[in-house]
Structures are given as structure tokens and as C-alpha cells.
Amino acid sequence: MTLWPAVTPDHINPVGVAPDAMLDLELSDNRTTPVPTSALEESQVSDPFRQESPTLPGSAGEHLLQRAYGSEKRARRFYDDQVLDRLNAEMKEFIGRMELAFVATSDARGECDSSLRAGPPGFIEVLDDQHVCYPEYRGNGVMASLGNISENPHVGILLVDFVTDLIGLHVNGKARIVEDADLRAIYPALPSEFDRGRTPERWVVVQVEEAYIHCRKHIPRMMPVLRERTWGTDDVKRKGGDYFGAKGMPRPWHVVTA
């Protein structure tokens, strides 16, 4: 028995609520030590709006600055008109044609990383109105983003249409790392054919908490051009080589021997 219907011409993206089985597939659940909390934890900051609106989007910090800088009305209008706690039909369609995304993560101490993810249109899979997932392939082995997610599940994804509509979409939520075989057992409609055998090793599944527009005012228009892509190569030149001249420079973690 499958938990989602198979892909058919009249049913591309499954709908419904992701089952508990998928939500339990988080590698970071195996922690043996507690994650340290920040000294600026939100519970320690007095939020001027939380008492009147317990479910209002945004952090205590942004709410405090809205009051300090007099932007409360504009911010509240944005929350009320543009911020959703799930994906609507237009957002799903937008995600389904995007070819790149910027993914922001941070570790348990709040140290941040922003990374580019790219693929053919629809490489970010919409599972339902509250869940999306994107593939993780063999890379440089550092696993900066996945390492952050294993400590701190909060992620921010920014998708931008630089070509046609000049508009962006923010998707913020909680992520979990799921091995490819495990996710396919739950979601058999995942794609099985990949360009030049570039098969995912695992997936990041994101439970959507906020979805909202990124306005077009300062988005530049770009024109894509055809290029040959060498997916998964270890060839240094094809990957860009030592473009920034970093290879020969000293690092504080290098051990200097006499």
C-alpha cells in the first residue's frame, strides 16, 4: 500500500497531510547530548505583539524593531496579506518550475551558512501543501548544510524567478534528513530518472511554517544560456579550480611542525 498516489498525467503533485511516518524520519533525533540554546533565545526577549496575537508570524526581534522604527502597520499588513503557513496553488506551481534555490541554515550556536541548490525544473518536490523536499547529491563531502540541519532543523529557502516574472518566494520551516531509499518507501512518486546518473544520496524534507513573496523591485532580469554541465565530477578544473587562490594560504587549524 502506498501513502501517496502514483504520478499520473492528471495528478502531478500529491495532496494531503504527510503521514507521521515521514515526520519521524529525522536523523537528528538520535542526539545523545542536548543542543545548547542561544543567550538570545526568543523566550528571553519581551515580544510586544505576542500577547495580543500569539500566532503572529515573525520573531520577537523583528516585532521590537517594527515598534522602534514605526513600521508596525506596514508589517502587519504584510503579515495579513502575504504570509501563509502553508503553500497555496500558485506557490506550488512556482516551486514546480524553479531551477535553483538558496538554502540558509545555522548550527546550534547560530553560526550560519547559505548554499545554492539547483536542478531541472521541479527538482524541489512539492509533497503536499505543508511539505517540500529537495535532493542531496554527492558533493565535496563537507556537508555544511546537512550538518547544520542535524543540529538545528530551522531552514530558510529562497526561490527567485530571474527570467520571466521577476519574483521570489520564501519558504521557511523545519527540515529533516531522509535517506533516499527511506523516502521512496513512503513516497514512491519521487523521480527515478536523473540527468547522467546523478542519483540523490538523501533528501531534505521541509515542513513549511511560513511562505511569502519576495518583491520584484530589485530582482535583476537574467537570461539563461545553454551550457554543458559535468554533474558529480571530481575534476578540479571543471569544478572551478582554486578560483579564489585559497589553497596556499595559512589556516588557524593547520598544525605547524618544526
pLDDT < 70: residue spans in the chain? 1-45, 194-197, 229-234, 236, 239, 256, 258
pLDDT at 225 (0 to 100) = 83
Residue 174 within a domain = yes
Q: Where are the beta strands (DSSP E) in the chain?
A: 100-106, 112-118, 125-128, 131-136, 154-161, 167-179, 202-214
CATH of the domain at 193: 2.30.110.10
In a domain, 230, yes or no: no
Is 8 within the bounds of a domain? no
207 assigned to some structural domain: yes
Residue 146 in grid coordinates? 546537512
Nearest to 57 by CA among 36, 79, 74, 77: 79
CA–centroid distance for 38 within its chain? 22
**Distance from C-alpha of 206 to C-alpha of 211, rounded to nearest angstrom:** 12
Is residue 233 included in any domain, yes or no? no
Sign for the CA dihedral angle at 23, 29, 34, 39 comes to: negative
Query: Residue 233's pLDDT is what?
Result: 66
pLDDT at 44: 59
Query: Does residue 178 sit within a domain?
Result: yes
Residue 75: its pLDDT value, please?
96
DSSP H/E element including 153: none
What Å distances lie between residue 88 and 53, 62, 253, CA to CA? 23, 25, 47
From 141, 119, 100, 133, select the one nearest 193 (Cα to Cα). 119
Domain count, the chain: 1
> Would residue 135 count as lying in a domain?
yes
The rounded distance, in Å, linking the Cα atoms of 4 and 63 is: 39
**What is the maximum span of the chain, computed from C-alpha positions, in angstroms?**
69
Q: Which residues contact 48 (CB under 8 A, 6 or more apart)?
A: 63, 64, 67
Domain of 28 in residue numbering reads as 20-33+83-223
Helix (H, G, I), strand (E, B) or coil at 211: strand
Is residue 65 domain-resident? Answer: no
Cα within 13 Å of Cα(178), Cβ side: 25
Q: Which residues pair with 135 in a beta bridge?
A: 203
Quick count: other Cβ atoms within 10 Å of Cβ 139?
Answer: 13
- Whole-angstrom CA distances from 143 to 113, 147, 207 are 11, 6, 21
What is the tens place of the pLDDT at every residue in 209-258?
999 999 999 999 998 888 776 666 667 677 677 888 888 888 888 876 76
